[in-house]
Chain A
Amino acid sequence: MTQDPNIDSKIGNDAQILWRIVMLCMRYPGRVIIAVGATIIASLFQLAVPQLIGSAVDGALGLIEDNNTVGYSANMALFKTAALLLGVSILRGLFTLIHNYTGEAVGHMMAYDLRLSFYNKLQNLSFSFHDKVHTGELITRGMLDLEGVRMFVSTGLVRLVLLTVLIGVGSYLLLSTDLLLGALSLSFVPFVAYRSAVARLKLRSLWLALQERMSIIGRIMDENLTGIRVVRAFGAENYELEKYKTAADAAKELADQRIKTRVSSTTIMTFAYFIAMGLVLWFGGLRVLEGQLTVGDLTEFLAFMTILQLPVRQLGLLVNSFARASSTGRRLFAVLDMKPNISDKKGAKPLKITNAHVAYKNVSFQYNEKDQLPALHNISFELRKGCSLGIVGPPGSGKSTIAHLLTRFYDVTEGKITIDGQDLRDVTLDTLRRHVLTVPQDPFLFTTSLENNIAYGDPWAKDEQITDAAFIAKIDNFIFGLPESYKTLVGERGVSLSGGQKQRISIARTIMLNPSVMILDDSTAAIDAATEQEIRQLLKTPMQTCATIFISHRLSTLLHSDEIIFIDNGRIVERGTHESLIAENGRYAELHKLQNLSTKNSEHIATKTKEVKL
């Protein structure tokens, strides 16, 4: 939301969103019909209870007054009423079970459908989308917003039917029995309905505001704990406590306000209900005294009121549920309706690799149309199997962007990229990404075993494939040293890996797939120089069969490349081999001096450091 409010705006108005949810439920028409039918039947049985109570009271009383056939038949009548009441209660219970369960079931089935499509959508949406929308924001949409839509089925739709029948039919029955008493016993309904709806909406906005303030507290605590060393180092405990107190006081104020709002509305609603009850008792009592009404009728009215009390209070929940469903539905559907802007074009062919001949021809790229400066400007280079290209440049110069274009995480704005003569936009994404692989700077490891992590790209891989890849990435010794070897879990409950170890797993993951084009995007930054050199040696064999691009700010990583390009502000400012660039005495040579490296030394690091055991 915060990143791009526009993505939510095109989904239509509230009514359209709610209608869309209803339509999603209608994928299960049988269950919906059962739920609605059972709801109606259950509420009718519910409405029968007061009448039975009333007639029971009258039955017991009327027989005293008549004072004749005391005995068998009177008891028989009572027995009938009692049995009927039991029967009605059982049936009401059964139908309530059916409608509650089916309502929930439809909600959960719809949620299942939505979960799957949401997950799928996110896996396929292009990078430009994931750049814009915050991870936490997406998780919220997939969890909380989806839950809001699901709840709408049972708390919104089914309850709407229930309340309509109960209040509608109930009112009809009461009013047709006695207009005045009926009106009196229903007098609390409009008031309570109104109050509860208003209060719910107000509570909702208070709740959202409170959540906001609570999340500030959460953030303060989280930052304090994560940055505890800074806090301690500066002796800033009091400052931190003060910061916390300010935030907590602000939240407490809203929390109090929320409770006050809630309490004042619930208590006034109960009060209104009891006032109506008092009025019924009063006027009903007068009628009975005048002989116009039986005690049974009066009891029936009072019993009706007991039944209506709860549903009427729930009107507020109903309003709340509609409000929540339309806002959460909007946020959810906004994502579901998104179209990935990178996908196979019609008639896309599989990528065929012969020489792994990569060519960038006058490539320019802009992340955003609004951006004034292009991220890449007029980039051209060529590369083929067995050769390597080094890309160096200051942070933010566009190095990684070059890599992202080759795997088509973004499409070029101008110019074109071809592999063996085939434009990337004309081949299928699946084959492209099967052949072109990047080892990212900050790899993502999954909370599964190490072997599954290495085999991420080919989960059918054989054990040897995995161990071979691990050997090349120089991580096999480390893995063998672990108690469960390749089966060791990664993460909190397993082994925690250093940045360099993660990068090595990531290299193994890529090597295992035998890519035709491999991009190492600063993927050895956290690996010490000596190990890096060893990996370089081991990579020599796989590099013979693929085109390799090295992106790094550490010159030792790329100085052996067949060509090196120096990028600044999205443009190539220098290009050539290491020797020619040094001779040119420009930016590259300056950087080289700064890094204080000589070719000779870096070659010997691996061997020499072993001699000097610290």
Chain B
Amino acid sequence: MNRRSDKHSNQKRNRRPPRAYVGSQSSQEEDMFGALFDGGVVGRFMTYVYPYRKNIWIALVAVLIVTAAQLLIPLIIRHGIDNVILAEDGNATDLFLVILFFALVITINYFANLVQDRLIGITGEHVIFDLRRAMYCHLQSVSLSFMDKTETGRLMSRLTGDVNSLQEFLENSVTAFGDLVLLFGIVVIMLTLDFGLGILTLSAVPTLFLVRMFWLPRARVAFRLARETNSSANGALAEGIRAVQTVQSMRRETVNHDLYDDKVRDNLYAHLKSARMAQVMVPIVDTLTGAAMGIVILLGGMQVINGTLDVGVMVAFLFYVQRFFDPIRSLTIQYSVMQRAMASGKRIFEVLDVPLAINYDPNAINPETIQGSVEFREVTFSYIENQPVLDKVSFTVSPGETIALVGKTGSGKTSITSLLNRFYEVDDGTILIDGIDVRNYSKQSLGRNIAMVLQDPFLFTGTIFDNIRYRTTNATQKDIEKAAQLVGAHNFISQLPNGYNTLLEEQGRNLSLGQRQLLSFARALVADAKILVLDEATANIDSHTEREIQLALKRLLHGRTGIVIAHRLATIRGADRIIVLNNGKVIENGSHSDLIAKKGLYESLYALNHSSFDDLY
């Protein structure tokens, strides 16, 4: 494997330069060494298993039956040998009876096995689906401030990875129960058949436990290292693919090759070590099995010779010994599965414990339509305590009026729109819609009566039709097309090969940003709400598309109450009234001409003649 490297060592520069890395430099630590058993986690997990308790009980009974059958089979063989085959008066009829009994046992075993595996598998699967659904459901209602803080990727890994490791645990734990019963059964039967021989045979077992205790921590370190180097190498690969443009234009191919070589080499060595660790137990278990069998043969054989032991018992012992080490082996594997499950469970319940910051009044009103007046009365709000984003903000908007919110980044514009929709709760003051506190509206009625177009025109995978219709599932094809026409999206949609049935790729990557924004306008139009909030995103849109967007805006706002966060002068001028915000306070409020006449901040901004107030800071 050291085929390379020497050849190039004479190059004028070291090929592993000081400032170069591939892959992430920060390692993602796995919290693998948690508690083996966490009563809280298990208890809560059980509440998800509880609806299936009948299945679980049946499965447990089936497990007992299966284990009993496993234990019975060597005993039947023993009986056949001692009492029929080697008996003075043994005959074919007696043997037939034994075989008949054997057939009965294996048939029962077959059905019990079928019931056990099916019930466990399916129940486990369903519990996991329920749990995932519960998390997903919960996340629909947790406060947005939690969602703001938490990365989607992290939540996704809880929804998938952690949930899967719980599933593994659930499926394994029932088999582990079977293993334990089997182990216990074998011990009891061996001791009952012949106490002395049983004790001697079992004497090999503690050795195994001792060796395991010594081996396990070392092995786990090795396994972990293998996993970590794996994910580190994979991370570097992913980076190499995503950054290929930069890599090629900066000519980093050779340097990266060498650095990646180091990574995969580390990975190789870690895997070789972990393979050695895994395999080293094989001869030990085999030796102990051989020793136990040797004991049975030597001591049991001597007893048989002395006539103090039936040969069938010796045969039965040999069969039991052969089976004995399997459950021990799988139980130690279970150990790490369990540990992983506890850590995962903890993370899952952390998500489920995220408080619902907004409690909806069960007696909230749920009006179909509203007039559309909005009032902010002395509203104070902060994301972080004592750092108010809005400070006693008051203003009113009459039904059908459009106001523009102007101010630099962080002046509180977006917070105003978020509060109107009750994404967050105000610290102080009240927000009123049609003169009624937003806290008295049901969640559905707020969603129905306030439509929003956000800065990021987020689209979902699916057809254009589905995206425009979104949750207004009773909208017809005609409604959709009409909305698209109004916002000026119909033209480009009908030019697509599949028209409205065109599938959008990952978040509409196959459309331009401007086109996506138009679709999000159409979506808001179809939702047909009285109040329309526009967190306008023309900053990202090139000038060529902007005119269409301005036209769409006008149509969209017709006959609705509009609250517009505006960047472009064109939009701001078009508003009925302009509210200028600074540091969370309303400092100016009036029409374009009023504010110009006032010669305040707005006027000085306007005088600079910028195409967009975004350019200021």
Interchain CB contact (< 8 A) of A78 among B264, B279, B298 = B298
Residues facing B in A460-494 (CB within 8 A) are 460-461, 489, 491-494
Whether a CB of chain B sits under 8 angstroms from the CB of A172 is no
Whether a CB of chain A sits under 8 angstroms from the CB of B5 is no
Please measure, in the bound complex, the distance between the C-alpha atom of A90 and the C-alpha atom of B264, giving whole angstroms: 35
Contact assessment for A601 and B286 in the assembled complex, using a CB-CB cutoff below 8 Å? no
What residues of chain A lie closer than 8 Å to B109, measured between beta carbons? 270-271, 274
Interchain CB contact (< 8 A) of A530 among B20, B80, B421, B617 = B617
Interchain CB contact (< 8 A) of B152 among A85, A119, A225 = A225
Contact assessment for B152 and A60 in the assembled complex, using a CB-CB cutoff below 8 Å? no
Contact assessment for B85 and A492 in the assembled complex, using a CB-CB cutoff below 8 Å? no
Whether a CB of chain A sits under 8 angstroms from the CB of B46 is no
What residues of chain B lie closer than 8 Å to A275, measured between beta carbons? 103, 106
Please measure, in the bound complex, the distance between the C-alpha atom of A407 and the C-alpha atom of B248, giving whole angstroms: 10
* A138-B241, A256-B125 known; A596+B569 contact, CB < 8 A: yes
What residues of chain A lie closer than 8 Å to B542, measured between beta carbons? 394-395, 553
Whether a CB of chain B sits under 8 angstroms from the CB of A35 is no
Whether a CB of chain B sits under 8 angstroms from the CB of A385 is no
What residues of chain A lie closer than 8 Å to B608, measured between beta carbons? 601, 605, 608-609, 612
Please measure, in the bound complex, the distance between the C-alpha atom of A40 and the C-alpha atom of B287, giving whole angstroms: 19
Please measure, in the bound complex, the distance between the C-alpha atom of A448 and the C-alpha atom of B126, giving whole angstroms: 42
Whether a CB of chain A sits under 8 angstroms from the CB of B311 is yes
What residues of chain B lie closer than 8 Å to A88, measured between beta carbons? 290
Whether a CB of chain B sits under 8 angstroms from the CB of A81 is yes
A-B contacts counted at CB < 8 A amount to 445
Among residues of A, the one whose C-beta sits closest to the C-beta of B472 is A234
Contact assessment for A263 and B301 in the assembled complex, using a CB-CB cutoff below 8 Å? no
Please measure, in the bound complex, the distance between the C-alpha atom of A446 and the C-alpha atom of B20, giving whole angstroms: 10
Please measure, in the bound complex, the distance between the C-alpha atom of A281 and the C-alpha atom of B447, giving whole angstroms: 74
Most buried by B among A104, A109, A235: A235
Whether a CB of chain A sits under 8 angstroms from the CB of B240 is yes
Which stretch, B47-55, B312-320, B397-405, touches the partner chain A? B312-320
Whether a CB of chain A sits under 8 angstroms from the CB of B307 is yes
Which stretch, A173-181, A216-224, A315-323, A411-419, touches the partner chain B? A216-224
What residues of chain A lie closer than 8 Å to B601, measured between beta carbons? 614
Whether a CB of chain A sits under 8 angstroms from the CB of B246 is yes
Report the minimum CB–CB distance from B267 to chain A (whole Å).
7
Q: How many chain B residues have a CB neighbour from A under 8 Å?
A: 163
* A232-B423, A596-B569 known; A226+B444 contact, CB < 8 A: no
What residues of chain A lie closer than 8 Å to B261, measured between beta carbons? 116
Among residues of A, the one whose C-beta sits closest to the C-beta of B123 is A259
Interface residues on A, range: 35 or more
Please measure, in the bound complex, the distance between the C-alpha atom of A438 and the C-alpha atom of B90, giving whole angstroms: 94
Report the minimum CB–CB distance from A184 to chain B (whole Å).
12
Whether a CB of chain A sits under 8 angstroms from the CB of B512 is yes
Whether a CB of chain B sits under 8 angstroms from the CB of A306 is yes
Most buried by A among B286, B307, B407: B286
Please measure, in the bound complex, the distance between the C-alpha atom of A298 and the C-alpha atom of B614, giving whole angstroms: 90
Which stretch, B135-143, B212-220, B367-375, touches the partner chain A? B135-143
Interchain CB contact (< 8 A) of A595 among B25, B144, B250, B543 = B543
Contact assessment for B267 and A112 in the assembled complex, using a CB-CB cutoff below 8 Å? yes
* A97-B283, A455-B19 known; A82+B470 contact, CB < 8 A: no
Interchain CB contact (< 8 A) of A239 among B121, B252, B461, B470 = B470
Please measure, in the bound complex, the distance between the C-alpha atom of A248 and the C-alpha atom of B242, giving whole angstroms: 31
What residues of chain B lie closer than 8 Å to A274, measured between beta carbons? 73, 106, 109-110
Interchain CB contact (< 8 A) of B271 among A96, A108, A457, A509 = A108
Among residues of B, the one whose C-beta sits closest to the C-beta of A100 is B279
What residues of chain A lie closer than 8 Å to B24, measured between beta carbons? 447, 491
Most buried by B among A395, A457, A597: A395
What 1/0 mask marks residues of chain B from 382 to 394 whose CB sits below 8 Å from any chain A CB? Answer: 0000000000000
Contact assessment for B234 and A219 in the assembled complex, using a CB-CB cutoff below 8 Å? no
What residues of chain A lie closer than 8 Å to B280, measured between beta carbons? 97
Which stretch, A51-59, A365-373, A375-383, A536-544, touches the partner chain B? A51-59
Please measure, in the bound complex, the distance between the C-alpha atom of A120 and the C-alpha atom of B255, giving whole angstroms: 11
Whether a CB of chain A sits under 8 angstroms from the CB of B238 is yes
Please measure, in the bound complex, the distance between the C-alpha atom of A232 and the C-alpha atom of B294, giving whole angstroms: 71
Interchain CB contact (< 8 A) of A60 among B136, B253, B314 = B314
What residues of chain B lie closer than 8 Å to A460, measured between beta carbons? 13, 17-19
* A88-B290, A263-B118 known; A108+B318 contact, CB < 8 A: no
Report the minimum CB–CB distance from A161 to chain B (whole Å).
17
Please measure, in the bound complex, the distance between the C-alpha atom of A348 and the C-alpha atom of B1, giving whole angstroms: 32
Among residues of B, the one whose C-beta sits closest to the C-beta of A432 is B251
* A82-B298, A97-B280 known; A223+B290 contact, CB < 8 A: no
Report the minimum CB–CB distance from A308 to chain B (whole Å).
13
Which stretch, B154-162, B176-184, B187-195, B556-564, touches the partner chain A? B154-162
Contact assessment for A61 and B304 in the assembled complex, using a CB-CB cutoff below 8 Å? yes
Residues facing B in A327-370 (CB within 8 A) are none
Please measure, in the bound complex, the distance between the C-alpha atom of A23 and the C-alpha atom of B418, giving whole angstroms: 62
Contact assessment for B144 and A57 in the assembled complex, using a CB-CB cutoff below 8 Å? no
What residues of chain B lie closer than 8 Å to A299, measured between beta carbons? 315, 318
Please measure, in the bound complex, the distance between the C-alpha atom of A240 and the C-alpha atom of B21, giving whole angstroms: 42
What 1/0 mask marks residues of chain B from 115 to 141 whose CB sits below 8 Å from any chain A CB? Answer: 001100110011001001100110111
* A135-B242, A395-B542, A528-B614 known; A90+B290 contact, CB < 8 A: yes
What residues of chain A lie closer than 8 Å to B318, measured between beta carbons? 53, 299, 303
What residues of chain A lie closer than 8 Å to B446, measured between beta carbons? 235
Among residues of B, the one whose C-beta sits closest to the C-beta of A288 is B85
What residues of chain B lie closer than 8 Å to A298, measured between beta carbons? 81, 85
Interchain CB contact (< 8 A) of A306 among B238, B255, B322, B545 = B322
* A119-B240, A605-B615 known; A227+B458 contact, CB < 8 A: yes
What residues of chain B lie closer than 8 Å to A286, measured between beta carbons? 92, 95
Whether a CB of chain B sits under 8 angstroms from the CB of A167 is no
Report the minimum CB–CB distance from B389 to chain A (whole Å).
16
Whether a CB of chain B sits under 8 angstroms from the CB of A560 is no
Whether a CB of chain A sits under 8 angstroms from the CB of B272 is yes
Whether a CB of chain A sits under 8 angstroms from the CB of B2 is no
* A139-B238, A234-B447, A289-B91 known; A101+B19 contact, CB < 8 A: no
What residues of chain B lie closer than 8 Å to A75, measured between beta carbons? 298, 302, 305
Contact assessment for B110 and A289 in the assembled complex, using a CB-CB cutoff below 8 Å? no
* A97-B282, A594-B546 known; A85+B293 contact, CB < 8 A: yes
Residues facing A in B76-108 (CB within 8 A) are 77, 80-81, 84-86, 90-92, 95-96, 98-99, 102-103, 106-107
Whether a CB of chain B sits under 8 angstroms from the CB of A123 is yes
What residues of chain B lie closer than 8 Å to A394, measured between beta carbons? 542, 544
Contact assessment for A271 and B290 in the assembled complex, using a CB-CB cutoff below 8 Å? no
What residues of chain A lie closer than 8 Å to B136, measured between beta carbons? 221, 224, 241, 244
Contact assessment for B26 and A493 in the assembled complex, using a CB-CB cutoff below 8 Å? yes
What residues of chain A lie closer than 8 Å to B237, measured between beta carbons? 115, 118-119, 122, 139, 142-143
The 7 closest A-B pairs by CB, nearest first: A235-B447, A89-B290, A93-B286, A93-B283, A459-B17, A233-B452, A259-B121
**5 further A-B pairs in the complex, CB-CB below 8 A; given A225-B156, A263-B118:** A97-B280, A97-B282, A239-B473, A446-B243, A594-B547
The 21 sampled A-B contact pairs (Cβ below 8 Å) are A82-B295, A86-B291, A89-B293, A93-B286, A105-B272, A108-B271, A115-B237, A122-B237, A122-B244, A232-B144, A233-B454, A234-B523, A235-B448, A240-B140, A255-B129, A271-B107, A289-B85, A295-B86, A444-B243, A455-B19, A614-B407
